[in-house]
Amino acid sequence: MSAYLKSNIMSFSQIQASNLRDQVADQIRSAIIEGRLRPNDHIVEAELTAQLGVSRTPVREALILLEQDGLVVSYPYRGSFVRNFTPQDVKDIFSMRTVLENFAAELIIDRLTNEEYNHLDQLIEAQRQAIAIGDLRQIRSIDMNFHHFIVSCSQHSLLIRNWKQIVAQIFAVLHIRAWAIPNYDEYKAIRDHLAILNAYKQRDLPTLMSLNREINERVAGECVYSVEQKGSA
């Protein structure tokens, strides 16, 4: 395996937050993405201070980061809350994701190597096994890795950065979908990924772009439905 490919594959886990700010941000981000913190939950700085054993300074700085990431909203002298996505928010997020992933596709479709195809094949297989076991957290993780690997192949740091932000928001929304649609067919993602990978192998950009659009619009629809359900419940 080439050094480039390896670093690409590892780019999710190799990140190590040096300062407390980033560590705290990662903790809160995980809590939101994994659904332990729910939309509109009040994030009280003093509580995190106690729970994490750090002072308010890094906690506050972490919350600033998360607000920039669109996972948290803050109001002056009232505090920070887990962002509650409106149907319009969800539509916007998924439409932006489509735009970014189509841009990535345009950049890489003629440059992907067999090694990279193989890695994507393996990820699909791993996700299939995670679904068989029923490990939802693992399913989500591999799913994200599939798309992240593709986007990171572009080596377009700005694109990768913006995509990561969007996807973090999407994962927060996917938890709402999981609550609203308990028996969601996770194998849909497998079929989607196979179709995407096939389009890449065929180097068929138009098909790939409409695939991206259709998939994202379908999932967006599911999430909008879920958000509306939650609002009326």
Partner DNA sequence: ATATCTCATATTGTATACGATCTATGAGAA
Partner DNA sequence: TTCTCATAGATCGTATACAATATGAGATAT
Tell which positions 6-25 bind DNA, by CB under 7 A: 19-21
Inter-residue contact 182 to 226 (CB < 8 Å): no
Inter-residue contact 147 to 212 (CB < 8 Å): no
Rounded Cα distance between 32 and 103, Å, is 28
Q: Count the residues of the shown chain that bind a copy of itself, applying the rule CB under 8 A.
A: 25
Tell which positions 40-69 bind DNA, by CB under 7 A: 42-46, 54-58, 60-61
Residue type, 154: S
Rounded Cα distance between 74 and 93, Å, is 20
Tell which positions 75-104 bind DNA, by CB under 7 A: 75-80
Rounded Cα distance between 171 and 140, Å, is 8
The verdict on 156 binding a copy of itself (CB under 8 A) reads: yes
Rounded Cα distance between 193 and 71, Å, is 26
The verdict on 20 binding a copy of itself (CB under 8 A) reads: no
Question: Which of the stretches 39-47, 90-98, 139-147, 207-215 binds a copy of itself when contact is defined by CB under 8 A?
Answer: 90-98
Q: Please name the helix (run of DSSP H) or strand (run of DSSP E) that holds residue 37, with its range, or none.
A: none
Minimum Å gap between C-beta 37 and DNA is 13
At 167, is the secondary structure helix, strand, or coil? helix
Query: Token pair of 12, please?
Result: 């999710």
Query: Token pair of 192, please?
Result: 């989607």
Of 73 and 99, CB closest to DNA: 73
The residue from 11, 74, 138, 162 that contacts DNA (CB under 7 A) is 74
Q: How far is CA 201 from CA 11, 31, 112, 113, in A?
A: 23, 36, 8, 9
The entry of DNA, a copy of itself, none near residue 44 (CB within 5 to 8 angstroms by kind) is DNA
Minimum Å gap between C-beta 233 and a copy of itself is 25
Rounded Cα distance between 145 and 5, Å, is 14
The entry of DNA, a copy of itself, none near residue 168 (CB within 5 to 8 angstroms by kind) is none
The verdict on 103 binding a copy of itself (CB under 8 A) reads: yes
The residue from 24, 37, 93, 131 that contacts a copy of itself (CB under 8 A) is 93
The verdict on 95 binding a copy of itself (CB under 8 A) reads: yes
Rounded Cα distance between 48 and 53, Å, is 8
Minimum Å gap between C-beta 64 and a copy of itself is 6
Tell which positions 110-129 bind a copy of itself, by CB under 8 A: none
Residues forming contacts to DNA in the complex (CB under 7 A) are 19-21, 42-46, 54-58, 60-61, 74-80
